[in-house]
Structure 1
Amino acid sequence: METAVEPGNNEPLLFGFGFDEAGLHTPLTWDEVLEGGHAKYKRVWLHLDRQSAQAQGWLYRKSGLDRLTVQALLQEETRPRAARHGHGYLINLRGPNLNEGADVEDLVTLRMWAGEDLLITLRARPVRSATDVRKLVEDGEIDTSTGALVAGLADRLTDRMEIVLDDFDDEADRYEDELLDPKARIDRSVLPEFRRRVLQVRRHITPQREALNTLVRDGAQSGLFSDQDLLFLRESADRITRLTELVENIRERSSVLYEEAIQSSTEETNQRLFVLAILSAVFLPISFVTGLFGVNLGGIPGAGNPVAFITLVIALALSVAGTLALLRWQRWI
């Protein structure tokens, strides 16, 4: 069941929580963040609008992050990755675009700074996986450590990516069935578009697997992730590995489907040309004779004979039968 998307507003802080020693959460406002009120909590999670000028200014001046980290969080173009930086991690993950009117393959990016006492997540477009984890926090159904929140976000992003790729797999099955059905007529233009969509997802899913594997490999040494967190991350990495193999399989199938569609179209064209060639061969003698006897010159044989026309028709019929017999004998028809 889909959860509600993040509310559309112009606020730099989409939502935020402060966590006390017991892990209990308290919602934060942007004014509290500006005034430094979030510093009294043991841990803080701030989910910001990356395109907000106020959020960008706060990151540069008041977040406590160095300039290189902030620039990495705010850069326009990025790919999935996880890199250790100081006492925290820079993490970029991607998920399907489930916003209204958007293409799911136009993946949305969730950028994170994960430190022991501070988790900052940023997005330019609504990311439903962040809203999912927000609800888990509000319902008290997730551990509120930074590692657990990161693992939860990775898990929900993988859940949604899995659904999208399963849909792609079903779509490829449908195209295969249509190609195998002689009565079906598939529009060849949909296959290149389908392949483009698959490649667009494939472009980011492979580095996402590498990013999660990096967190699994290095996370235990950082102390940021508990064994339970690493278990969730390892499971997400394994699922992403399966999805990587699935998207590669779908890409190959889409290429084969397009080639088969082209071949089928070529065969249909050749069949029609063959029929036209047979008809031309059958009617060639008739065209020659009628053309010859149709000239308005003297000396045409049978011009004064009342049975000449019938004789000509019979001769032409025999010519057609002979031509068909010859083509049959040569196994051309």
Structure 2
Amino acid sequence: MVEPGNNEPLIFGFGFDEAGVAHPLTWDDVLEDGWANYKRAWLHLDRHSAQAQGWLYRRSGLEKLVVQALLQEETRPRAARHGKGYLINLRGPNLNEGALTEDLVTLRMWASEDLLITLRARPVRSASDVRKLVEEGEIPTSTGALVSAIADRLTDRMETALDEFDDEADKYEDELLDSKTKLDRSLLPEFRRRILQVRRHITPQREALNTLVRDGAQSGLFTDHDLLYLREATDRMTRLTEMLETIRERASVLYEEAIQEGTEETNRRLFVLAILSAIFLPISFVTGLFGVNLGGIPGAASPGAFVVLVVGLAVSVVGTLALLRWQRWI
């Protein structure tokens, strides 16, 4: 399902009647306060839209502090009780075309009994997933049920993204162990950076979900069924946090092993050069000595002197190899 572009303030919206039936809302309905005629409403807005920002400040009925929190540029996952509602920020993997998965997208929410407002700057597929469930009538339409469903879908998407990280770590391990494959060590620091980028938001997201589970029952916004979904999402997020930490440690070990392998390869090459230098050092000395253009060189007038010299050099090479072997250097 394709979402409208950034110039559309309302990406989608629903009004829910007393029976919980969803009725689509337009931006005109929002401007004319038509959403207030329903028992509750869900408005999914584009955070970058000037019209949406103006409505939030002037017509939504939210406190200025809440609106500022919803519209601020830099956020971390959190869940905070504010009056009769919750201010919630959650993140999910960026699954948009051409984007990096680890460049997480943010979904900001204001959740109260009669109104759920969600805002995004870039498309969030988890919100579209829940929208589809609402349109098909496969989900309760209370605010708590919608929030818990969104959290559940965000966790689903995050699991898929981290499974890809785990598969990538497996691939690097296989390449490191396979003697026929040359692992590009320059990929590992970038891999670690991507992991840390996701890890920076995973831990606070787990705490945000914990807050909803801990305080949700007292607020009356979440039913036991909603809390069950939130608790499951929290447990899965805890597992993902541990999984991400394991992947990070694996990446560190892989990098250290790759560096050690490179160092060992360099040492082997230096050792070969040292052995060759030791073998040819006596030869170089003798040939250098006999190569001077001065009188008195032994054998200069003898036709068999060259053969004797070559045999002597061969004996020197064999003797040097025997000495190195005896010393267990080769």
TM-score by length of 2: 0.99
Gapped regions of structure 2 (runs ≥ 5):
none
* Distance (Å, rounded) in 2 between the aligned partners of 1:180 and 1:22: 61
1:7-86 to 2 correspondence within 5 Å?
7-86=4-83
Mapped contact 2:90–2:108 kept (Cα < 8 A): yes
Instruction: Output the amino acid matched with 2:302.
Output: N
* Distance (Å, rounded) in 2 between the aligned partners of 1:115 and 1:216: 16
- Correspondence 1:248 to 2:223: no
Deviation per CA, 1:35-81, whole angstroms, max 9, x where unpaired? 11111011100000001111111000000000000000001101000
**1:170 paired residue number:** 167
Mapped contact 1:25–1:137 kept (Cα < 8 A): yes
* Distance (Å, rounded) in 1 between the aligned partners of 2:144 and 2:242: 27
Q: Percent identity among equivalent residues?
A: 82
**1:272 paired residue number:** 269
Q: Please state whether the residue corresponding to 1:46 is helix, strand or coil.
A: strand
Shift of 1:319: 0.4
Deviation per CA, 1:86-119, whole angstroms, max 9, x where unpaired? 0000000000000111100000000000000000
* Distance (Å, rounded) in 2 between the aligned partners of 1:117 and 1:65: 12
* Distance (Å, rounded) in 1 between the aligned partners of 2:100 and 2:155: 17
Shift of 1:5: 5.0
* Distance (Å, rounded) in 2 between the aligned partners of 1:293 and 1:122: 88
1:191 pairs, out of 185, 188, 193, with: 188
* Distance (Å, rounded) in 2 between the aligned partners of 1:8 and 1:177: 43
**2:210 paired residue number:** 213
**1:286 paired residue number:** 283
Instruction: Output the amino acid matched with 1:187.
Output: D
Deviation per CA, 1:122-181, whole angstroms, max 9, x where unpaired? 001110000000000011111110000000000000000001111111111111121112
* Distance (Å, rounded) in 2 between the aligned partners of 1:47 and 1:158: 19
* Distance (Å, rounded) in 2 between the aligned partners of 1:54 and 1:6: 17
Deviation per CA, 1:263-311, whole angstroms, max 9, x where unpaired? 0000000000110111111111111111111111111110110010010
2:114 pairs, out of 106, 117, 134, with: 117
* Distance (Å, rounded) in 2 between the aligned partners of 1:7 and 1:62: 22
**2:320 paired residue number:** 323
Number of aligned positions between the proteins: 330
* Distance (Å, rounded) in 2 between the aligned partners of 1:173 and 1:329: 44
* Distance (Å, rounded) in 2 between the aligned partners of 1:113 and 1:167: 32
* Distance (Å, rounded) in 2 between the aligned partners of 1:152 and 1:201: 22
Mapped contact 1:82–1:90 kept (Cα < 8 A): yes
* Distance (Å, rounded) in 2 between the aligned partners of 1:126 and 1:229: 25
* Distance (Å, rounded) in 2 between the aligned partners of 1:98 and 1:5: 13
Stretches (4+) displaced over 6 A: none
* Distance (Å, rounded) in 2 between the aligned partners of 1:61 and 1:8: 23
Mapped contact 2:6–2:46 kept (Cα < 8 A): no
Instruction: Output the amino acid matched with 1:38.
Output: W
Gapped regions of structure 1 (runs ≥ 5):
none
- What RMSD in Å do the two structures reach over aligned CA positions? 0.8
Q: Please state whether the residue corresponding to 2:302 is helix, strand or coil.
A: coil
* Distance (Å, rounded) in 2 between the aligned partners of 1:5 and 1:212: 29
**2:144 paired residue number:** 147
